[in-house]
């Protein structure tokens, strides 16, 4: 059963006559794909399309002969609905025509009338009309002609893969040991400080001369005894003398 769709209208006219009349319906395929077509009428025996099923090759036209019964009254005869399907998805057009159909296959609704005015001998219908002429292919297709296509150029075609850098390469890149000198130790030109006690000389009492000087300046205090220090006082501290004694 054809889908009930009225999006794309075309008109085909017959002259009033007491006998059958024929007109040409030219299906003009503007795509690069072969299209299966099916013409379905709601006028019964009053209209006939021959052939009603076929394949329109890419960028070509297909001629269909439409015959209308006699009639001397100007009136509407009926309608044709034109359905399309990419041949790639349905290689057997006859089997496709006998199957079920979907709204996306609807291409044109062709209104057929009988008139007393001018009636053209041929009417051109451009395809695909409202039909979806292109569909995705989820499976491999054998025998597809791709002679008019060009393989995309690899975006890396003009590049080279960088050389892998290894530890061996790193060693080769470094300067040889013969031209490398070890950093001079910042302490190389320094000498260890001389122990100030290393050259101390021995006094009679085996005391250091500095200590001897300090003892001279600040003699140790002896309780109850005056000493003959610089201050000559009893029990004084190292920083002064008791002037009252």
Asked whether the beta carbons of 67 and 25 are under 8 A apart, the reply is no
Which pLDDT does position 149 carry in this prediction? 65
Please state the domain count of the chain: 1
* Structural domain includes residue 199: no
| Positions of the chain with pLDDT under 50 | 1-6, 194, 196-201, 203-206, 228-236, 240-245
User: What is the average pLDDT score of the chain?
Assistant: 75
Supply the DSSP string of 56-117, one letter for each residue: EPTT-EEEEEEEE--BSS-EEEEEEEEEEEETTT-S-HHHHHHS---GGGEEEEEEEEEESS
Q: Which two tokens stand for residue 50?
A: 């021959």
Domain presence at residue 16: yes
3 touches 38 (CB < 8 A): no
Position 18 in a domain: yes
Asked if 88 and 33 count as a contact pair (C-beta separation under 8 A), the reply is: yes
CATH code for the domain of 44:
2.60.40.10
For residue 208, being part of any structural domain is answered with: no
Do the domain assignments include residue 108? Answer: yes
d(CA 85, CA 228): 134
Which pLDDT does position 211 carry in this prediction?
72
Backbone φ, ψ for residue 45 (5° rounding): -80, -5
Res 7: pLDDT = 53
Q: Write down the pLDDT at residue 72.
A: 86
Grouping H, G, I as helix, E, B as strand and the rest as coil, residue 46 is: helix
Q: What was the pLDDT predicted at 146?
A: 64
Q: Flag whether 165 is in a domain.
A: no
Q: In the Cβ-directed half-sphere of 170, how many Cα atoms lie within 13 Å?
A: 4
Within-domain flag for 135:
no
pTM value? Answer: 0.52
> Among 126, 12, 11, which residue's Cα sits nearest to residue 60?
126
Amino acid 89: pLDDT? 80
- Show the domain range for 115: 9-127
Beta bridge partners of 82: 39, 108
- The answer as to whether 219 is a domain residue is no
Residue 123: strand, helix, or coil: strand
For position 90, what pLDDT does the model report?
A: 85
């Amino acid at each position: 059963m054809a889908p009930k769709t009225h999006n794309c209208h075309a008109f085909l006219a017959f002259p009033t006559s007491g006998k059958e009349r024929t007109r040409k319906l030219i299906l003009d395929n503007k795509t690069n794909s072969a299209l299966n077509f099916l013409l379905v009428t709601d006028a019964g025996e009053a209209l006939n399309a021959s052939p009603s099923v076929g394949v329109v090759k890419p960028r070509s036209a297909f001629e269909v002969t439409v015959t209308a019964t006699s009639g001397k009254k100007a009136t509407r005869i009926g309608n044709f609905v034109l359905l399309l399907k990419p041949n790639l998805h349905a290689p057997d057009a006859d089997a496709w025509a006998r199957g079920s159909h979907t709204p996306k296959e609807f291409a044109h609704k062709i209104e057929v009338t009988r008139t007393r005015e001018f009636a053209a001998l041929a009417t051109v219908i451009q395809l695909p009309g409202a039909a979806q002429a292109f569909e995705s292919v989820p499976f491999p297709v054998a025998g597809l002609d791709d002679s008019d296509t060009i393989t995309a150029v690899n975006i890396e075609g003009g590049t080279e893969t960088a050389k892998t850098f290894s530890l061996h390469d790193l060693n080769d890149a470094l300067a040889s040991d013969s031209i490398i000198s070890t950093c001079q130790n910042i302490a190389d030109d320094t000498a260890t400080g001389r122990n100030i006690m290393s050259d101390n000389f021995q006094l009679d009492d085996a005391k250091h001369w500095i200590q001897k000087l300090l003892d001279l300046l600040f003699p140790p205090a002896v309780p109850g005894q005056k000493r003959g220090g610089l201050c000559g006082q009893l029990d004084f501290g190292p920083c002064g003398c008791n002037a009252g004694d």
